[in-house]
Structure 1
């Protein structure tokens, strides 16, 4: 079967493949200081991984042995060595000493374990890994995708202007409100309330090519803010980031949308999925949409093999689908989540619990036992089954 995809939400899916290096002069000009050009020249030498190369880099195994390494220094060195851009949220103490060791695990799993140890979260926006408070990282990729999607509702001229990708180069002692003012000007818009962004001074940073929406999203994420664009595109307003955000996209598979809907419901029980006359509408986190894209393109999604050992877990869950929790644990173990489709309604049920210093088995029991479900752990999968009487 040949796969057809709708254009909604798809147009801006891979903006970082457009390598237009522009706008850096305006950001550095004048008010950032005379030595900005030299810093930009040095930063531009970084050959960041982007596109498929970026994704493959996250899957490459590596070893880390940090003993009291300051967070910013450690992550900057890791970023440069792996050529993977990493953004550390402004609310994370850059001088915090990190004691961390990991051997022969993929970069993304390594970063997940680092974040778990220090109660942080990880997200990906374009070719940038963002590390910060879990409340921010949980929704950041989806928020960025929604903002890119909103560009598609504007005029052709505005779409062309805002779809261009360019590096985000931040000189030392840059003020985020001024960065946003400059980016608004590049979009041909006026930032109507720059004072909504608290005063701050940032260290020098260079990121790979990103769309205008992604650059703005990253700058504002550390303040738990986002932006809204006027209908005619002439003005931008800073607003609080939503507590919850979902990304919607329509998929279609010729003559087999019913089969597609069934497969997606089985693989992604936490998503809202409905079949229409011409496709399947999926609503949920952007990271899940990316997995769907890869699956439908025939790509094999690699998972890391992680042995749980005697690891203990402390986790507070509030109003989350039980299936999403099982899926997260399966991913950490490098296993597949399996279950009878008849259990889908139960796995979509939202649960709340709080566990401290428990095994993975006890954590999963906390999520599934109230629903009359249980877990069978096999070599390559976590299988959800009805609980025995």
Structure 2
């Protein structure tokens, strides 16, 4: 099954209805929002008709997503009025969003039931940052972790200041905030999101300022801090240019028919390479002419992600050995028939 959502510029990574600043009139005709990651996957599979000709990005995306019951966050750093062009009647919603991100040099991914459209680097690390925060909170006592894990809807009005929004979210949970001075003054259009944990609500807001947060050992104080530079550096490397430069591609025949010849066994050599497994897999597929069918739903159900960073290298490897070297460190495996590669969890 093809990946429904996952791109960040050249990267594989992945509506706020329901997203910042779509017209009030659109709210009346929007579908009920997908309230879970699995529901979002189903909505992204739905075929849609798109006729964009110089439409402002924010209006085009939020109207489309609202009509299909998908919440989308458009990062504050994206010009909402940049024109977009696309005419199609045979793409799914996920394919449209992926095409839009690619054509605009942006990244698109999802966090729970919410689609995020923003700078490629931010999209490449969004889910990784969320998982890091979740890993930290799981070390707390159940009582201390509960407020941070409780899922609630998120809604704010027009002209809301994100600094105040973050403070209010923590105050409502009975927690203290520190480091809010790192959030510059800004005014946001009103928005509404389906239920998300407090961790993910904070992440979606803080990410737009290249911030994340730490939680004190007693779980009572949340401190906003800059995103780790090494995380941003890895995202920049992954989104600027392909990380995979495989040697071993067969040369085109110059002698016409190869009838009667023994087939050449192609071997591949790849120097040490590291990056999100989805990024590396997509780059390999592009270079080798493979058709990927990624079982995203099964991968998520197994607690795995294409955003997981892996490191690999091969020397004189077969194609199957090459694919296994990329996928196995992320807990994934594959089934291949010719050029068609199905990606799925190694242990469903």
The match for 1:107 among 93, 96, 100 is 93
- Note the C-alpha offset of 1:242: 2.2
Is the aligned partner of 1:48 residue 2:33?
yes
Q: Deviations over 1:84-106 (max 9, x none)?
A: 00110000001111112233122
Structure 2 residue aligned with 1:198: 184
The match for 1:228 among 210, 214, 233 is 214
CA contact (8 A) 1:322 1:347 kept: no
> Any gaps of 5 or more consecutive residues in structure 1?
1-38, 247-284, 286-313, 349-375, 383-389
Structure 1, 333-342 or 75-84: larger mean CA deviation: 333-342
The match for 1:340 among 320, 334, 337 is 320
Is the aligned partner of 1:161 residue 2:86?
no
Instruction: After TM superposition, list the pairs within 5 Å mapping 1:129-144 onto structure 2.
Output: 129-144=115-130
The match for 2:193 among 207, 212, 226 is 207
Structure 1 residue aligned with 2:9: none
Q: What is the aligned-residue RMSD (CA, Å)?
A: 3.5
- Note the C-alpha offset of 1:241: 1.2
The match for 1:327 among 274, 281, 291 is 281
CA contact (8 A) 1:61 1:105 kept: yes
CA contact (8 A) 2:280 2:326 kept: no
CA contact (8 A) 2:77 2:208 kept: yes
Label 1:149 to 1:102 Cα distance change in 2 as closer, same or farther (>3 A).
Answer: farther
The match for 1:317 among 230, 242, 246 is 242
- Note the C-alpha offset of 1:192: 1.8
Separation of aligned partners in 1, 2:82 and 2:322: 48
Separation of aligned partners in 2, 1:152 and 1:346: 29
Structure 2 residue aligned with 1:35: none
Separation of aligned partners in 2, 1:211 and 1:323: 26
Instruction: After TM superposition, list the pairs within 5 Å mapping 1:1-389 onto structure 2.
Output: 47-51=32-36, 52-244=38-230, 316-317=241-242, 320=274, 325=279, 327-329=281-283, 330=285, 334-336=291-293, 339-341=319-321, 344=324, 378=338, 380-381=340-341
- Note the C-alpha offset of 1:160: 2.0
TM-score normalised over the length of structure 1: 0.57
Label 1:323 to 1:241 Cα distance change in 2 as closer, same or farther (>3 A).
Answer: closer
- Note the C-alpha offset of 1:161: 2.0
Separation of aligned partners in 1, 2:154 and 2:276: 39
Separation of aligned partners in 2, 1:233 and 1:129: 28
CA contact (8 A) 2:39 2:113 kept: no
Give 3-state SS (helix, strand or coil) of 1:63's partner: strand
Q: Deviations over 1:16-42 (max 9, x none)?
A: xxxxxxxxxxxxxxxxxxxxxxx8xx7
CA contact (8 A) 2:144 2:220 kept: no
- Note the C-alpha offset of 1:46: 5.8
Q: Deviations over 1:246-276 (max 9, x none)?
A: 9xxxxxxxxxxxxxxxxxxxxxxxxxxxxxx
- Note the C-alpha offset of 1:149: 2.8
- Note the C-alpha offset of 1:190: 1.4
Separation of aligned partners in 2, 1:346 and 1:125: 24
Label 1:333 to 1:154 Cα distance change in 2 as closer, same or farther (>3 A).
Answer: same
Q: Deviations over 1:138-187 (max 9, x none)?
A: 01012112212322111221222222111110110000000110111123
Q: Larger relative contact order (C-alpha < 8 A, sep ≥ 6)?
A: 2
Separation of aligned partners in 2, 1:48 and 1:102: 24
CA contact (8 A) 2:178 2:223 kept: yes
Separation of aligned partners in 1, 2:80 and 2:203: 21
CA contact (8 A) 2:114 2:193 kept: yes
Q: Deviations over 1:350-373 (max 9, x none)?
A: xxxxxxxxxxxxxxxxxxxxxxxx
Structure 2 residue aligned with 1:15: none
Label 1:323 to 1:378 Cα distance change in 2 as closer, same or farther (>3 A).
Answer: farther
